[in-house]
Amino acid sequence: MFLPLYDQNPKRFVIKPYVNYALILLTTFLFTIQYLLPVNAENYVIATFGMVPYWLSDARIDQIPFIPDEFTFVTYAFLHGDWLHLLSNMLFLWVFGDNIEDALGHFRYLLFYLLCAAGGGALHYFVYQDDLSPLVGASGAVAGVIGAYILLYPKVRVYVLARIIIPLPLPIPALWVLGAWIAMQIFYVILPQTNAVAWWAHIGGVIAGMLLVLLFKRPEVRLFQS
């Protein structure tokens, strides 16, 4: 497996990707609070703000306090299962999110991110409508960023930490790096489900990101840039 470290992709339009920074800080802050809660309180938060497919079906009366059920298509993205879950998502967002914010602009990037989270949650819901397990994690939204990055910057070199003999940072085209990540999501969807990873939410996020970036990108930003 590999870990992205940084890319060779200077920003053209924004001085600082403030929205990307804010998303990383907010998500980390909220998970820290979640982590520090007593177990019962944490479970309540996850059940309330995580996305539970069964609770969103027409077969039940609204039972989620504080917020409309539909809001959980977004709020789930700000909760995580553990620190590794959080850090892996935030690493990908740190490496790739700044360039998507640059290509879209601050406000449109924020809207794009939230809609990608909703897209990932929607596909997960359609596949698992009777599931009582809460969906949590920014993976759907981050997958949208990955989908957009592949369309905009497939030839950009991404330095990844690869486990060959000894870990070394290697420059690899984004299409290979992120294409391999997407292929892995599809591979695990095909296999019998053996863990709690929401692979369909990842695929839904990628699809949403690829579609939304076409609508939200600046007119002067071209596809398939090197």
As a whole number of angstroms, the distance between CA 212 and CA 210 comes to 6
pLDDT at 35 over 60: yes
Helices (H), ranges, 105-192? 106-127, 139-152, 174-190
pLDDT at 154: 95
Whether 85 maps to a domain, the answer reads yes
Q: What is the mean pLDDT of residues 201-223?
A: 96
Whether 131 maps to a domain, the answer reads yes
Tell me the CATH number at 106.
1.20.1540.10
Whether 132 maps to a domain, the answer reads yes
Whether 99 maps to a domain, the answer reads yes
pLDDT at 61: 47
Whether 226 maps to a domain, the answer reads no
Whether 224 maps to a domain, the answer reads no
Identify residue 20 by its one-letter amino acid code: N
Mean per-residue pLDDT over the chain, rounded? 89
Domain hosting 196: range is: 2-216
Whether 7 maps to a domain, the answer reads yes
Q: Which of 27-36, 50-59, 175-184 has maximum average pLDDT?
A: 27-36
The number of folded domains in the chain is 1
Q: Which of 66-75, 85-94, 157-166 has maximum average pLDDT?
A: 85-94
Longest dimension (CA), the chain: 56
pLDDT at 121 over 50: yes
As a whole number of angstroms, the distance between CA 82 and CA 84 comes to 6
- How long is the chain? 226
Q: What is the mean pLDDT of residues 22-47?
A: 95
Cβ proximity of 207 and 118 under 8 Å: no
pLDDT at 1: 60
Whether 223 maps to a domain, the answer reads no
pLDDT at 3: 84
As a whole number of angstroms, the distance between CA 136 and CA 78 comes to 7
pLDDT at 215 over 60: yes
Q: What is the mean pLDDT of residues 36-51?
A: 92
Q: What is the mean pLDDT of residues 181-185?
A: 89
